[in-house]
Amino acid sequence: MKTTLDKPKDKCAVFGIYDHKIDVARITYYALYGLQHRGQESSGIAVSNGKRFKMRRGMGLVRDVFKTEKHISRLGKGFIAVGHNRYSTTGSSHICNAQPFLIQKDGRQIIIAHNGNIVNTEELKEKVKEIKLNSTTDTEVIGALLLESKKATWEERFDEVLPKVEGAYSLVISTRDLLFGIRDPYGVRPLVIGEINGGWVLSSEDCVFPGIGAKFVREIEPGEAVIIDKNGPKTFYKQKIKSRAFCIFEYVYFARPDSTFHGYSVGKVREKCGEILAKEAPVDGDIVISVPDSGITAAMAYAKASGITFGEGVIKNRYIGRTFIQPDQRLRELGVKIKFGPVSANLKGKRVVVVDDSIVRGTTMRGFVKLLRDYGASAVHIRVACPPLTDPCFYGVDFPTKEELIASRFMINSRQVDVNKIHEFIGSDSLHYLSVKGLLQAAGIDGTKNKDFNVENTPYCIACMTGNYKISLKENQVKKGVKRLAILVSNAGHGTNLQAIIDATEKRKINAKIAVVVSDTHDAPGLARARKHNIETEICRQSDKLLPLLKEKYAVDYICLTGWKQIISNKLIKAFLGKILNAHPGIIADTIDGTFLNPDGTKAVWNKGKMTKRAIQNVLDEKTTFAGSSLHILTQTFDFGPVLGRCFEKVEPNDTIDSLYSRLKVKENQMYVDALIKLCKE
Ligand code: SF4
């Protein structure tokens, strides 16, 4: 069971500083520490001394990237610094996508750091003519367009580029002697200005200001671009505000409770959510607890408002993930109990009210409810300090797809969530969510007394709870019917089928997301490929465990086998009838007794039951003219099923197994991708 890991994740933190008197690299380093909650995948700092930039970026937490004093001191004594912590939503988890980016052209250079998500990246990429893009992120595209602009001033360049950019962006950009802070016209992601000892800082959140000795000045307005030079900050460009859409989830979960947006303290909003929830959904209970470590503020406020004692239900062992000693079978069976110890006096025979800030897939909460019952709770009531999450986020938050969201899976009609069904799935005694009106009220918009109040007419984005997106979705709309794939890999091959599918899904050629890559062994090369692209991986050795894993946990539409058929049971084939694809090393005929011809009219080799290289050996032994591969739907008939694609490779006179196999593999990869493009469109 995951805890806070199962929450949606924010994309990034941005930070910038302009100051001639202090060590800007060190201040940025401390600020990034304070903003670590917004992104843990990579971190980086770039410093300008007016003549050139020095930069260090790396994968991991701030403390992993800047391990020693030298890592900071080598950035030099500059007066501008830009910092970034990343959590990826576009682009894979790879050092080339770590920010900030240095973009250069004809001796000109800029540094760019971004929080948000651009919804028309592909369209913008086509406008980049000369600069070679090194990453797979949307951020670099904006920087490249700004640098390629032929306009004379920065104001004109921003005016040329920014109106073409659609989506959510809070940007910190620096030239060698200027610092810019920019927010999109909807103001989806936060960006604030602070003053530090006569210098100036830009930050995703103001929670870092006390720690670095800065004072809050103001928020950058939606659509505003601020320039900072030796004269201080100045608004120098403004786009028309379209419709304010500040992400309300910043209050619910992302931001630190000691941050403030629009004058509302995040911690106070969370308290209010708990209070309102207690009024909206009271329950008889003996103790209120939270899920470690989320929802504590709302849980305490719920307890106070309801008059029920707040206490700790379970204690999380924070060190369990750090051991290299694998648990043995007996301990594995104990599962999450190793991780969470009970405070028995607070659970045994007690009616427990669990308050959490949100429910995403529902599996975490289901595990938690079971744990509390195992530890002796007589009743478990769930209260959620946020409305049901029904729709994905396209504006910079790593949200699960619609199909993965539990509230979306249990809908009565297109907008009404069947809370009872979720409650049954979770196994609780009762379940209640905070209403959308209640959340808005906590965030300062009280529509409770106005009968004409329209929840869509607020300065907030609440799209993941209502499905109404204020920013057009453009290319992301395709994601609506997006299919979910499970790719099963063995350690027999190099994972090239998988790589081809990953590349095609990332380029959106296939309207699908790889939900999970599964293998029965840690050695499968495909697992490493998947992790490089931030794709979930699982090890599963028992066929009876595979079905619930793929059906319930990952809710997949198609299973793609890449040399891993042994573990597929008839039960699984039945449950996913017509949805399991298998690459077969040979040419399968249309009927079980039939034959198929090679392109030159000779009889093709079927290779029934033969695995990869043995199949190629068979082709060479039989002295046939072509080797081939087929992609078919797996049926209960051994090595046979409706064929989705066939590919052929001519056998050359001096061919060895390896030479022939490597040429055939290229065609097989393409065949797999082509079949998925077609299937996932349907
Ligand atoms: Fe925030 Fe949800 Fe809107 Fe995304 S869809 S910006 S998470 S409120």
CB atoms under 10 Å from CB of 224, counted, come to 20
Question: Which of 248, 358, 456 has the most ligand 1 atoms within 8 A of CB, as the residue to mutate?
Answer: 248
- Is the pLDDT at 497 greater than 60? The verdict is yes
Q: Is the dihedral of CA 172, 175, 176, 179 positive or negative?
A: negative
Q: Of the candidates 80, 37, 85, which has an alpha carbon nearest to the alpha carbon of residue 60?
A: 85
What is the pLDDT, as a whole number, of residue 154?
93
Q: How far apart are CA 434 and CA 455, in angstroms?
A: 14
Element (H, E) at 353: strand 351-356
Q: What DSSP string describes 247-272? A: ETHIIIIIS-TT-EETTEEHHHHHHH
Atom of ligand 1 nearest to the CA of 460: 8
**Rounded distance from Cα 463 to ligand 1 centre (Å):** 6
Range of lowest pLDDT (156-170, 207-221, 263-277, 316-330):
316-330
pLDDT confidence bin for 287, thresholds 50/70/90:
very high
- Is the pLDDT at 168 greater than 60? The verdict is yes
What is the pLDDT, as a whole number, of residue 6?
55
Q: Is the dihedral of CA 18, 24, 25, 26 positive or negative?
A: negative
Atom of ligand 1 nearest to the CA of 189: 6
**Rounded distance from Cα 146 to ligand 1 centre (Å):** 27
pLDDT confidence bin for 137, thresholds 50/70/90:
confident
For ligand 1, atom 3, the nearest C-alpha belongs to: 461
**Rounded distance from Cα 394 to ligand 1 centre (Å):** 8
**Rounded distance from Cα 395 to ligand 1 centre (Å):** 7
Indicate the average pLDDT of the chain: 88
Establish whether the linkage from the previous residue to 356 is cis, with ω within 30° of 0.
Answer: no
**Rounded distance from Cα 87 to ligand 1 centre (Å):** 15
Q: Of the candidates 346, 341, 336, 400, which has an alpha carbon nearest to the alpha carbon of residue 368?
A: 336
Share of the chain above pLDDT 90, in %: 60
What is the pLDDT, as a whole number, of residue 478?
42
pLDDT confidence bin for 392, thresholds 50/70/90:
confident
Question: Which of 393, 460, 471 has the most ligand 1 atoms within 8 A of CB, as the residue to mutate?
Answer: 393
- Is the pLDDT at 259 greater than 60? The verdict is yes
Q: Pocket around ligand 1: residues whose beta carbon is below 6 Å from it? A: 188, 247-249, 393, 395, 397, 461-464
What is the pLDDT, as a whole number, of residue 224?
96
What is the pLDDT, as a whole number, of residue 83?
98
- Is the pLDDT at 322 greater than 90? The verdict is no
What is the pLDDT, as a whole number, of residue 424?
93
Q: How far apart are CA 560 and CA 527, in angstroms?
A: 14
For ligand 1, atom 4, the nearest C-alpha belongs to: 393
Write the pLDDT tens digit of every residue in 517-556: 999 888 888 998 988 887 888 888 888 889 888 887 777 8
For ligand 1, atom 6, the nearest C-alpha belongs to: 247
Atom of ligand 1 nearest to the CA of 391: 5
CA angle 268, 269, 273 (to 5 degrees): 115
Q: Which of 12, 386, 393, 647 is catalytic?
A: 12
Q: Of the candidates 297, 201, 218, which has an alpha carbon nearest to the alpha carbon of residue 262?
A: 218
Q: Of the candidates 600, 607, 552, 605, which has an alpha carbon nearest to the alpha carbon of residue 582?
A: 607
- Is the pLDDT at 146 greater than 80? The verdict is yes
Write the pLDDT tens digit of every residue in 427-441: 999 999 999 999 999
**Rounded distance from Cα 462 to ligand 1 centre (Å):** 6
Average pLDDT over residues 588-615: 88
Atom of ligand 1 nearest to the CA of 463: 5
For residue 59, the one-letter residue type is: M
680 catalytically annotated: no
User: How do strand 287-290 and strand 351-356 relate by DSSP bridges?
Assistant: parallel
Atom of ligand 1 nearest to the CA of 462: 8
Q: Of the candidates 645, 529, 636, 518, which has an alpha carbon nearest to the alpha carbon of residue 584?
A: 645
Which residues, in sequence order, are CB contacts of 29 under 8 Å at separation 6+? 45, 62, 66, 72, 83
Write the pLDDT tens digit of every residue in 343-371: 999 999 999 999 999 998 888 899 899 99
Give the helix ranges, DSSP H, for 13-163.
24-34, 62-65, 69-73, 121-125, 139-148, 154-161
Atom of ligand 1 nearest to the CA of 465: 2
- Is the pLDDT at 78 greater than 70? The verdict is yes
What is the pLDDT, as a whole number, of residue 88?
59
Question: Which of 247, 252, 408 has the most ligand 1 atoms within 8 A of CB, as the residue to mutate?
Answer: 247
**Rounded distance from Cα 361 to ligand 1 centre (Å):** 16
For ligand 1, atom 2, the nearest C-alpha belongs to: 464
